[in-house]
Every structure is written in C-alpha cells, then in structure tokens.
Amino acid sequence: MSHQPFESWLLEENNRTPEQEAALQAHLLNCAECRQIHTGWQEARLSLKSAKMVSPAPGFSQRFSASLVARRAEQAHRRQIRNLIIGLSLGLIATAVLLTAVVFSFTSPAEMLVNGVEAITMGVNRWNQVIHVLTAALQHPIFLVVWILVTCGVSILACGWLFTLWRISVQGAQQE
C-alpha cells in the first residue's frame, strides 16, 4: 500500500485542507503503519514541544573569561615560536645566499666544477686504496683459535651490553 502523500501530511506541520484531512482519516482507518506513525509522532511532537532548554552550570561566562586569558597567552606563545622559526629560517637563507655570493665572487663556475670533479676522483681513489689495504691484510693466514677467541669475546661483550641496557630499562620502569 502506498503511504504517500499521507506520510508527508502526518509529519508536516502545515495545516491540512479539509479535503486532505478527510482523505488522511480515511487512510488511517485502513493503514496500521500510518496509524502507528501518527500516534508515535503525536507523542514525540508533544514531548519536543514541551522540552525545556538546558542551562550550563553557574559561572559559565566566568569560566570562559578565564579560559580566554589562558588561550590568548597560549596563542601569543605559539605566535612567538612561529616568528622565531620564521626569523631563523630567513637568517639561514640569507646567510646561505650571502656565502654563495661570496664564493662565486672569488671563484669562477668553471673552476668550481673542476675542483668538484677533482674532489670526487680523489675520494674514489682513497676508497680503492682502503679496499686494497684491507684485502691484503685479510690474505694473511689467521689461526682458527684466534678467530674463535675474538668472536667469543665480542659476543660476550655484546651480551653484557644488551643485558645492561635491559636491566636499566626495566629498573627505570619499576621506579616510575
């Protein structure tokens, strides 16, 4: 069964025309669902209309004034920090720009490029030398016993270190 437009008529607050009212009453006689909505809404509406406004606990505006002072202080503090960060950032940027300008005024870009390539090449050469020295040292025969002793020693030290860390962390938690 169609409940429209009766459902809308029931829930709207506009005054119904006599024809609408007659049609609605006829529909309500035959439709249990709309009858339930009608009864439910009448009661709910009555309750809504009679419900009062709730007031806050006394002193609401005083609490607001107090919080206003605190919030403004916090806001001012935040603004100060923000200004400080902005100032520091601007200072850093200005210094970087100044340094770059100074460097560029004494050295030409071509010279800087050559120096940079030289530095990279030197770094690669040094790395190769380190690798060469390490490989040469490891080629000498090392006794198995020495290896075992070194490994055991390092393991014991690592265990001791981990145990100390664990103990300190547990004791710290217990003290709290």
Binding interface with another protein (CB under 8 A)? 7-8, 10-12, 36-41, 43-45, 47-57, 60-61, 63-65, 67-68, 71
User: From the CB of 19, what's the least distance to another protein, in Å?
Assistant: 22
User: From the CB of 24, what's the least distance to another protein, in Å?
Assistant: 15
Rounded to 10 degrees, what is the CA torsion of 161, 166, 171, 174? 170
Nearer to another protein, 30 or 139 (CB): 30
Nearer to another protein, 44 or 93 (CB): 44
Nearer to another protein, 49 or 140 (CB): 49
Give the distance from CA 118 to its chain's centroid.
45
Distance of alpha carbon 94 from alpha carbon 98, whole angstroms: 6
User: From the CB of 74, what's the least distance to another protein, in Å?
Assistant: 11
Q: Which residue has the tokens 């940027």?
A: 93
Nearer to another protein, 27 or 38 (CB): 38
User: From the CB of 21, what's the least distance to another protein, in Å?
Assistant: 19
Spell out a b/e string for 62-94, using b for 16 or more CB atoms within 10 Å of the CB, else e: eeeeeeeeeeeeeeeeeeeeeeeeeeeeeeeee
